[in-house]
Amino acid sequence: MAILRQIGTMIYRQRLAYIISLHILFAAFSLFLSFLLRFDFTLGQHELLHDPTLYPRYLFYSLPINIVVFVVFSALFNLYQGIWRYVSVDDLKDIVKTSALASLVFMFCIVVSGQFRGYPRSIYFMNFVLFVLLNGGTRFTIRIFRESFAPMSDMVRNVLIVGAGAAGNEIAKSLKSGRSREYIPVGFIDRNKALRGQRLQGLKVLGDLSSLRSHIKKRRVNEVFIAIPEATNKVVREIMDAARIPEWEVKFKIVPSILDIMSGRHTVNKIREVSIDDLLSRPNITLDDTHVRRQLAAKTVLVTGAGGSIGSELCFQVASYRPARMLLLDSSEQGAYTVDQELKRRYRDISIHTVVGSILDNGFMEPLFRRYPPDFIYHAAAYKHVHLMEWNPMACLKNNVLGTAQLASLAEKTGVSQFVMISTDKAVNPAGTMGISKRLAERIVLERYPSKTLFNAVRFGNVLGSSGSVIPLFQQQIREGGPVTVTSAETKRYFMSIPEAVQLVLQASSLNESNVIFMLDMGEPIRIVDLARNLIELSGLKVGEDVEIKIIGMRPGEKIEETLLSDTENVVRTRFEKIRVQKNFRRDPERMERFVHDLKSNVDLGNIRAMYNDLKELVPEMIGPSFEELTATMFS
């Protein structure tokens, strides 16, 4: 490694010496050429001059001054640091600034010295212009030559960019300056008809969406890049529909969303495949993170279930607000390790402690809270697989209900400022054990005796891409050639992306409410069969021809439709447009305390009948399972 560093240092020094030498030549030649232009290439050898050698002497003696001044100002404006083959307009601005200030200082030195009476004033201006032309022209010539003669990839693909804005400009620049010409941008399409005919990065805006198909055929386009970070799901769908040609295969890619860019996980020029998230038929939400930043900065934050889908995204978004310390808790060693390594790589200034264990284990939870008292707890740990929990109700209730109760008690004892529980729409009129356990966990969190800790729950629908969600299952079935299995043609679910779900959690917690349930305005539910169809099409396949969709019927714990509210719940608006809050419900902390005590005993003793009676009493709105169904599914 030491040898490699020495070689790297040597190469850098050689490159720096070469670039400084070029700048010396630029400064010398610009002044020399200025004198030649000023005196019609006679350099002052004119019969009317009293001393024909005057101006050659002026050039000779002022040349070192010009070189020193220009070399120093080139260093001040970092002209030696840029990579010439990637020169941009910003680099040209620095060259102009360097030349302007250096020319003024050069003029000041000539005038103040008193040794150059009658020094031609036009020399100063020409010297400025010529240095810009020589320095900038050389750099841009190298870039043009490189882009024109860059090696072509074996699989060259023509690309049409939809969106002639800042993101489209960045994408075009990245594609044109790439080492290998795998993607060749052929032009832009923009919804704004007024931009037609204009140029970005030398590429023409060809038209609007109505002309998309014709330009795909005419220019033999292989891929369409959607360069609109703020694009809603509806806009993405419109673009894809406008570009589809039955006899022509076109792939789609998209720049990250505004949310992904804000979270720091992606930059605007990181193009990616269009995913099912981009096609959800509901509006995107935006984050007003002022209050979140003020709340989390320099604090200690505990995230349970940190290795899971929601938990890991919580970790990344929380870290972007620069807390002083983060505690990552997960029962999965691999999940905890993965998020621990990535967080420590990205955020070296945050103290990160990763703990492998269960929230039910008081033997290490209490010492953890004593050593690192958290200010905020985001409780994402839970068993959530609906069908698996139907077969393991004891484990589900123990982890989701008793684990939450123990964590909430520890939060009160150590003076945690706020406890936020991640809930689900399956807690509303629950049809299965998992939904019942989450409804009970909600009540345990919200129905507590007054304390310094603010308790609230955040309830939302299905999360795309989470472990155990329907999306990975469908994708696996598509890879295997189908069929894609759907429980019912009428099954509907609310969907949101993982970043949006976490966004809701952080926004809701910044409202500093207590004993409330926050909900997102999620728009209209999506039919699962439509979701399956979209995934098949995104894979470049056709429904019915390449992959079939098969209806298999409802399974235990499932409902045709989910809802975010029960009949007895009412919501009111918050200051965030997409967040509602439900706060007016009857509380019975004494009954919940007694239930937790009884549940511990019943689980330990295996007293299923007593446990079931408590469930029916505390969650009277549950629509299943019956006691017979509950016991029938256990260990089956």
Q: Where are the beta strands (DSSP E) in 53-163?
A: 152-162
Residue that wins the pLDDT comparison between 55 and 305: 305
C-alpha–C-alpha distance, residues 368 and 416, integer Å:
13
CATH assignment at residue 181: 3.40.50.720
Residue that wins the pLDDT comparison between 629 and 613: 613
Final residue before a domain boundary, out of 274, 304, 329? 274
Instruction: Give the least confident one: 54-58, 186-190, 467-471.
Output: 467-471
Say what the pLDDT of residue 483 is: 86
**Is 556 domain-assigned?**
no
Same domain, 142 and 158: no
**Is 285 domain-assigned?**
no
425 band by pLDDT with thresholds 50, 70 and 90? confident
pLDDT above 50 (res 268): no
494 band by pLDDT with thresholds 50, 70 and 90? low
pLDDT above 70 (res 423): yes
Same domain, 314 and 220: no
Say what the pLDDT of residue 337 is: 93
Residue that wins the pLDDT comparison between 356 and 494: 356
Same domain, 198 and 75: no
pLDDT above 80 (res 605): yes
44 band by pLDDT with thresholds 50, 70 and 90? low
Same domain, 111 and 242: no
Pairing state between β 526-527 and 549-551? unpaired
Say what the pLDDT of residue 264 is: 46
Same domain, 136 and 203: no
The residues with which 187 forms a beta bridge, in sequence order, are: 160
Based on C-alpha coordinates, what's the Rg of the chain?
33
Final residue before a domain boundary, out of 147, 181, 215? 147
Say what the pLDDT of residue 597 is: 93
Residue 340's CB is within 10 A of a number of other CB atoms, namely: 21
Indicate which residue of 299, 384, 426, 578 is catalytic: 426
- What letter represents residue 441's amino acid? A
Say which residues have a Cβ less than 8 Å from residue 185's Cβ, sequence separation at least 6: 159, 160, 161, 171, 172, 175, 176, 201, 203
Please state the separation of Cα 252 from the chain's center in Å: 19
Report the pLDDT averaged over residues 5-13. 54
Instruction: Give the least confident one: 82-91, 175-184, 365-374.
Output: 82-91
Same domain, 219 and 112: no
262 band by pLDDT with thresholds 50, 70 and 90? very low
Say what the pLDDT of residue 354 is: 95
Say what the pLDDT of residue 48 is: 42
**Is 474 domain-assigned?**
no
Residue that wins the pLDDT comparison between 350 and 477: 350
Q: Report which DSSP code applies to 424.
A: E
**Is 547 domain-assigned?**
no
Instruction: Give the least confident one: 85-99, 123-137, 323-337, 587-601.
Output: 85-99
Parent domain of 305: 290-462+495-524+565-618
Report the pLDDT averaged over residues 542-559. 74
**pLDDT tens across 69-114, in order?**
888 888 887 777 665 655 666 677 888 888 889 889 888 888 888 7
Q: Report which DSSP code applies to 226.
A: E
Same domain, 126 and 171: no
273 band by pLDDT with thresholds 50, 70 and 90? low
377 band by pLDDT with thresholds 50, 70 and 90? very high
Angle between helices 403-413 and 433-446 (to 10 degrees): 20
Final residue before a domain boundary, out of 244, 274, 304? 274
Instruction: Give the least confident one: 7-11, 73-77, 485-489.
Output: 7-11
26 band by pLDDT with thresholds 50, 70 and 90? confident
Same domain, 125 and 233: no
Tokens of 420: 């936020």
Residue that wins the pLDDT comparison between 155 and 7: 155
C-alpha–C-alpha distance, residues 311 and 113, integer Å:
70
When divided into structural domains, the chain yields a total of: 3
152 band by pLDDT with thresholds 50, 70 and 90? very low
**Is 480 domain-assigned?**
no
**Is 348 domain-assigned?**
yes
Say what the pLDDT of residue 314 is: 93
Say what the pLDDT of residue 527 is: 80
Report the pLDDT averaged over residues 368-388. 92
Same domain, 418 and 499: yes
- Alpha-carbon separation of residue 503 from 287, 324, 578 (angstroms): 7, 20, 11
Say what the pLDDT of residue 526 is: 75
Residue recorded with tokens 């691999």? 334
Say which residues have a Cβ less than 8 Å from residue 218's Cβ, sequence separation at least 6: none
Contact 46, 52 (CB under 8 A): yes
Sign of CA dihedral 77, 81, 82, 85: positive
Instruction: Give the least confident one: 7-16, 454-463, 503-512.
Output: 7-16
Residue 422 phi, psi (nearest 5): -85, 120
Task: Tell me which range, 16-20, 505-509, 580-584, 590-594, is most confidently predicted by mean pLDDT.
Answer: 590-594
Report the pLDDT averaged over residues 18-47. 77
Residue that wins the pLDDT comparison between 591 and 155: 591
Say what the pLDDT of residue 165 is: 81
Q: Is the pTM of the predicted complex or chain greater than 0.75?
A: no
Burial of 234 (0-12, 13-18, 19+ CB in 10 A): middle
pLDDT above 80 (res 174): no
pLDDT above 90 (res 550): no
pLDDT above 80 (res 296): yes
266 band by pLDDT with thresholds 50, 70 and 90? very low
**Is 221 domain-assigned?**
yes
Give the residue among 300, 160, 267, 281 at the shortest CA–CA distance from 217. 160
Say what the pLDDT of residue 214 is: 86
Say what the pLDDT of residue 409 is: 95
Same domain, 348 and 378: yes
Burial of 243 (0-12, 13-18, 19+ CB in 10 A): buried
**pLDDT tens across 387-413, in order?**
888 888 889 999 999 999 999 999 999
Say which residues have a Cβ less than 8 Å from residue 67's Cβ, sequence separation at least 6: 24, 27, 28
Task: Label residues 102-125 b or e (16+ Cβ within 10 Å = b).
Answer: bbebbbebbeeeeebeebbeebbe
pLDDT above 70 (res 245): yes
**pLDDT tens across 555-576, in order?**
665 666 666 665 556 777 787 7
Task: Judge whether 542 counts as a catalytic residue.
Answer: no
**pLDDT tens across 216-236, in order?**
888 888 888 888 877 777 788
Same domain, 83 and 143: yes
Angle between helices 122-148 and 89-113 (to 10 degrees): 160
287 band by pLDDT with thresholds 50, 70 and 90? low
Say what the pLDDT of residue 323 is: 95
Do you find a cis peptide bond into 374, omega within 30 degrees of 0?
no
The residues with which 495 forms a beta bridge, in sequence order, are: 462
Same domain, 332 and 438: yes
545 band by pLDDT with thresholds 50, 70 and 90? confident
Say what the pLDDT of residue 263 is: 47
Mean pLDDT of the chain, nearest integer: 80
Instruction: Give the least confident one: 31-40, 311-320, 508-517.
Output: 31-40
Residue that wins the pLDDT comparison between 609 and 202: 609
Say which residues have a Cβ less than 8 Å from residue 290's Cβ, sequence separation at least 6: none
Say what the pLDDT of residue 157 is: 79
**Is 635 domain-assigned?**
no
Report the pLDDT averaged over residues 426-438. 88
**pLDDT tens across 186-213, in order?**
888 888 888 888 877 778 888 888 888 8
